A and B are shown apart, each in its own frame.
Chain A
Amino acid sequence: MSDSTAVGHVPEAHHTTTGISHNKMLMWAFLASDCMFFGSLIWVYMVYRGRSLEGPYTQEILNIPYTSVSAAVLLLSSLAMVLALHGIQHGDMRRFRVWLGATAALGALFLGGQYFEFTEFYHHGLTLEQNLFGTTFFVLTGFHGTHVGIGIIWLVTLILMSLFGRLTPANAERVEVAGLYWHFVDIVWIVIFTLVYLIPY
């Protein structure tokens, strides 16, 4: 979704009323909307918190140290994202690719961790159907994981495009926009992690 057009011969980023490119404006508007999406999911989670009629209950099953590590992995990926953007903005495509690759890899590590966590919970009898906790937990964190997954595909696409010469320092803003998305997904995880894992029951 990256066609800024109308006055087609003008490169992106220029000639907009606000001076902010269409792509970036689109991303900000999308993130506002996505806030409401996660807001609704989180709200439902909080309403049903502690209202499961049968176990396994939240405090029996959550492994806070484990998830803290995977949260740290995701936070680190945001740092890598910043470095990747810095790379392309300074015309250093190699540095860009390395750090964007690292971002995607850390994201994938987080997803792997989530997969492991889900299977672990499953073996302890927590399923989508088991109780309200299972229902709300898997759907909330699952949608967050889906966001991470889409982000990874996006980052990999950007790397591939740069390899084929379709992404150059002139389009660094594309990476910035992808970065906005990535950081947002990260921040959402901080909220989820705090509300679901850290706040005691």
Chain B
Amino acid sequence: MVESALKLERARYERSALVEWLTTVDHKKIGILYFWTSLAFLLIGGLLALLIRTQLIVPDNTFLGPQAYNEVFTMHGTIMIFLVVMPLNAAFFNFFVPLMIGARDVAFPRLNAFSYWAFLFGSLLLLSSFLFGAAPDGGWFGYANLTSSRLYSPGLNIDFWVMGLQVLGVATLASALNFFVTIVNMRAPGMSLMRMPVFVWMTLVTAVLILLAFPSLTVGLVMIMFDRYFGTNFFNPAAGGDPVIWQHLFWIFGHPEVYILILPPMGMISEILPTFSRKPLFGYTFVVFAGIVIAFLSFGVWAHHMFAVGLGPVPNAVFATTTMLIAIPTGVKIFNWLGTLWGGAIEMKTALLFAASFIAMFTIGGISGVMHASVPIDYWQTDSYFVVAHFHYVLFGGSLLAIFAAIYYWFPKMFGRMLDERLGKLHFWLTLIGFNLTFFPMHFLGVDGMPRRIYMYSAGMGWDLWNLVASIGAYLLGASTLLLFVNMLKTLRKPADAPADPWDGRTLEWSIPSPPPAHNFDVVPVVRGRDAFWIEKYGAEEVIGPAPERHGAEAGHNPQNPHNPGPGEGAGHDQAASHGAEHHGDSRIHLPPPSWFPLTTGAGLTLMGIGMVMHASDTLGSLGFPVVGLGIAMVVVSLLGWTFEPIHEEGHA
């Protein structure tokens, strides 16, 4: 039997559970690590948001001083983007992309583990700045030469920011390389590109975006680092340096980055809407190509973040045009999602509610985006709360709502337990109300001239009411997010009895037990079309129909038709049986053995960052470079061990 063969093979690696998690190279475990880590960071980032809203709840408030306020909003933005949304996307890439393409792991399992550890350690480096009272305070965009000159930012704050982001960048690039190769190279037989689930497509596009956009950030951060540490003049006007160069480098990264944040969530809802409408995605090809076009265009719009810098009328006009163009493929997607829902047999599950609200909220954010694509309008809106409203509608109303939808949708597959629907719906409604209470008034504030990034405003500006409303909304939002955690923790204490295919799903991850076995598929599936699992269940013609009886009688007749057992009915076995493969006994399935080297490599890399921060400190300065050296040595030794470690039984190195 597969299980026992695997057990035998893994026996010599069996150690304590802790060691198992520390050394795992299983994409599902790594996905779960990403999942909980970034959800923990969501709590931290959310707490900072509440601090911001508490400071702004009334005029002339003195709850946070200016320095604390700068640190809080900088860390809030940096955390939400790099430590929450990106790694939550990565959690789902990790867990589901191999399952959806019918693979047993990613192309480079150890590199994958390295990505996680570097992400974790890099995040901790960034967060540790709080312990030293030196949290980054230059905004998530870290404009030079405020950040590049020790004259203007003398503390360690920016050093933590630069080093933390560099480590996170390496982690992200490694992960993008991995998923690019995995998707291009590890698809099950029959899984042609145009049969891939849209979520897989968007992961692929995102990986390409990361590969092409992150180097620009890396180079910019290197320059800030050199200016701060080695006295170079990249952004030093006294020597002819030009701080606007940083803005170009940052936004050439920064605008693709916003699509790195939104494309995977778009992929998620492109899976969820069809499932709960019991229809295939409307206009699959359009959705895929719109995603590709968006990615392509996103490299040509960056200067819309710099309209007010003074690049001149010609560049401004060009970038205004490209920015408006990007709304076209975005609109195409929105209509395709609506078309998917249209006429569908809609099941009002929590996942669907979140996915549908994504469409509405994201559209609002898209519309305000097109508004400030117009240069004269942007002169008025830029650096005001209007922009804050815009990007929260696309990032919270977009990315995060879709991620919540994905949590309700995929939690059963990840943990073998169904989240509570009643709590889920409460979570949904409170989130939707809280979100709009918080962020819609910011449009008014922005139009009324309230600038962003200010820690205090005076009474009598006419901003009191909407700030109060926004803050109340934020508390509601905070409370509703706690409901998600309550729901998850409650659910995890229940027995693991989720069926393999609780939603009557369409894609391959639902064809295997919940949670999946270590080797994923007993037999590598053969893909006969788009919505591969649906075709296996119902054949290609029948694409829409009433939901089959959950505990239906007919289930027995048709071996192709899984009977979706309710909780407690021995999930998963029926699936394996319907593939005729429960006792397939392919004893040749070799899983890559666990390894310590990904963790030590990630730690070494982070040690280099720590050393650089130490070098800039008053007290530990002389230890800085030795620690950097130690980090380099650790990376080199780890990589050597990595190279020489046996990874296959037969000794194919």
Where the two chains meet, the residues of A that have a C-beta atom closer than 8 Å to any C-beta of B are: 1-9, 11-12, 16-18, 20, 22, 25-26, 29-30, 32-34, 36-37, 39-41, 44, 47-48, 51-53, 128-129, 131-132, 134-136, 139, 157, 161, 166, 171
B496 within 8 A of A: no
Cβ of B245 within 8 Å of any chain A Cβ, yes or no, is: yes
Within 8 A of A (CB), among B335-355: none
Q: Given A5-B105, A22-B185, A29–B230 Cβ distance below 8 Å?
A: no
Q: Answer whether residue B594 sits at the interface, using C-beta atoms and an 8 A cutoff.
A: no
Do residues B180 and A29 form an inter-chain contact, with CB atoms below 8 A? yes
In the complex, whether B447 has a CB less than 8 A from a CB of chain A is no
Closest chain B CB from A156 CB (angstroms)? 11
Measured CB to CB, the closest approach of chain A to B252, in angstroms, equals: 8
Would A129 and B232 be within 8 Å (CB), given that A9-B649, A9-B650 are in contact?
yes
Q: Do the beta carbons of B642 and A135 come within 8 Å of each other?
A: no
Interchain CB contact under 8 A, B240 and A36: no
In contact, A17 and B223 (Cβ under 8 angstroms) = no
Bound Cα distance A44, B104 (Å): 43
Assess whether B219 is interfacial by the CB under 8 Å rule.
yes
Q: Which of B150-158, B209-217, B604-612 lies on the face that meets chain A?
A: B209-217
B109 contacts A33, C-beta separation under 8 Å: no
When chains A and B are docked, how far (Å) is the Cα of A37 from the Cα of B218? 8
Residue of B with least CB distance to A19? B185
Residue in contact with A1 in the complex, picked from B176, B184, B233, B642, CB distance below 8 Å: B642
- Pair A33/B107 contact, Cβ less than 8 Å: no
Residues of B bordering A, CB below 8 Å: 103-111, 173, 176-178, 180-181, 184-187, 191, 211-216, 218-220, 222-223, 226, 230-234, 239-242, 245, 249, 252, 588-592, 639-640, 642-644, 647-650, 652-653
* A131 B239 Cβ-Cβ under 8 A: yes
Q: Which chain A residues border B592 with CB–CB below 8 Å?
A: 3, 5-6, 8
Give every chain B residue within 8 A of A25 (Cβ-Cβ): 107, 180-181, 184-185
Give me 8 A-to-B residue pairs in the complex whose CB atoms sit less than 8 angstroms apart, sorted by A's number: A6-B104, A25-B107, A25-B181, A26-B107, A33-B211, A40-B216, A44-B234, A47-B242
Q: Which residue of A lies closest to B218 (CB)?
A: A37
**Closest A residue by C-beta to B187:** A17
From known contacts A25-B185, A41-B219, infer whether A8 and B226 are also in contact, taking CB-CB under 8 Å: no
Who on chain B is nearest to A164 by CB?
Answer: B644
Contact of A8 among B211, B212, B639, B647 (CB under 8 A): B647
CB distance from A93 to the nearest CB of B (A): 16
What is the CA–CA distance of A39 and B249 in the complex, to the nearest angstrom?
11
A26 to B233, CA, bound (A): 35
Of the residues B191, B218, B223, B588, contact of A44 by C-beta under 8 Å? B223
The distance from the CB of B645 to the nearest CB of chain A, in whole angstroms, is 9
- Measured in the bound complex, the distance between the Cα atoms of B245 and A39 in whole Å is 14
Shortest beta-carbon distance, A187 to chain B, in Å? 17
Please tell me which one of the listed residues B110, B111, B215, B233 contacts residue A132 in the complex, with CB atoms under 8 A apart: B233
Closest A residue to B592 by CB, please name it: A5
Cα A65 to Cα B528 with chains together (Å): 63
Number of A-B residue pairs having CB atoms within 8 Å of each other in the complex: 152
**Across-interface contacts of B640 in A (CB, < 8 A):** 157
Min C-beta distance of A135 to chain B, whole Å = 4
**Do A3 and B214 touch (CB < 8 A)?**
no
B232: contacting residue among A20, A135, A171, CB under 8 A: A135
Contact in complex: A36, B111 (CB < 8 Å) = no
B114: nearest chain-A partner, CB-CB: A1
Complex-state Cα separation, A136 to B232, whole angstroms: 8
Q: Are B181 and A29 in contact (CB under 8 A)?
A: yes
Contact between B588 and A33, CB atoms less than 8 A apart:
no
Q: Which residues of B contact A53 (CB under 8 A)?
A: 239-240
B643 nearest CB across to chain A (Å) = 7
Residues of B within 8 A of A39 (CB): 215
- How far, in angstroms, from A156 to B109 measured CA to CA in the complex? 25
Q: Output the least CB separation between A7 and chain B (Å).
A: 7
Check if A132 sits within 8 Å of B241, measured CB to CB. yes
- On whether the beta carbons of A12 and B107 are closer than 8 Å, the reply is no
Give the complex CA separation of A134 and B239 in angstroms.
Answer: 11
A7-B104 contact in complex given A17-B187, A132-B233, C-beta closer than 8 Å? yes
**Chain A residues near B648 (CB-CB < 8 A):** 5, 8-9
Assuming the contacts A2-B643, A16-B185, A128-B232, asked whether A26 and B649 have C-beta atoms less than 8 A apart, the reply is no
Is the beta-carbon distance between A51 and B230 smaller than 8 angstroms? no
Q: How far apart are B404's CB and chain A's nearest CB, in angstroms?
A: 31
- Hey, which chain A residues are within 8 Å of B226, CB to CB? 128, 135, 139
Expressed in whole angstroms, the Cα–Cα distance for A26 and B184 within the complex equals 10
Docked pose: A150 CA to B186 CA in angstroms? 29
In the assembled complex, the CB of B594 is this many whole angstroms from the nearest CB of chain A, namely 12
Report the minimum CB–CB distance from B606 to chain A (whole Å): 18
Chain B nearest CB from A58 CB (Å) reads 14
| A5–B239 CA distance with the chains assembled, in angstroms | 52
A18 touches B212 (CB 8 A): no
Interface centre among A25, A29, A39, A128 (most CB of B within 10 A): A29
Give the Cβ gap from A107 to chain B, nearest Cβ, in Å. 18
List chain B residues, Cβ under 8 A from A136.
234
Q: How far is the CA of A161 from the CA of B653 in the complex (A)?
A: 11
Which 9 A-B pairs give the minimum distances between C-beta atoms? A8-B590, A37-B215, A40-B219, A36-B215, A129-B231, A33-B211, A135-B232, A16-B185, A6-B105
- Return chain A residues, CB-CB under 8 Å to B176: 33
- CA separation between A57 and B402, bound complex, in Å? 55
Contact A37 B232 (CB under 8 A): no
A180 CB to nearest B CB, Å: 14
A29-B177 CB under 8 A given contacts A2-B643, A9-B590, A47-B245: yes
Chain A residue at minimal CB-CB distance from B110: A3
Q: Check if B653 sits within 8 Å of A166, measured CB to CB.
A: yes
B40 to chain A, nearest CB (A): 29
What is the minimal beta-carbon distance from A102 to any residue of chain B, in angstroms?
A: 23
Complex alpha-carbon distance, A67 and B311, angstroms: 37
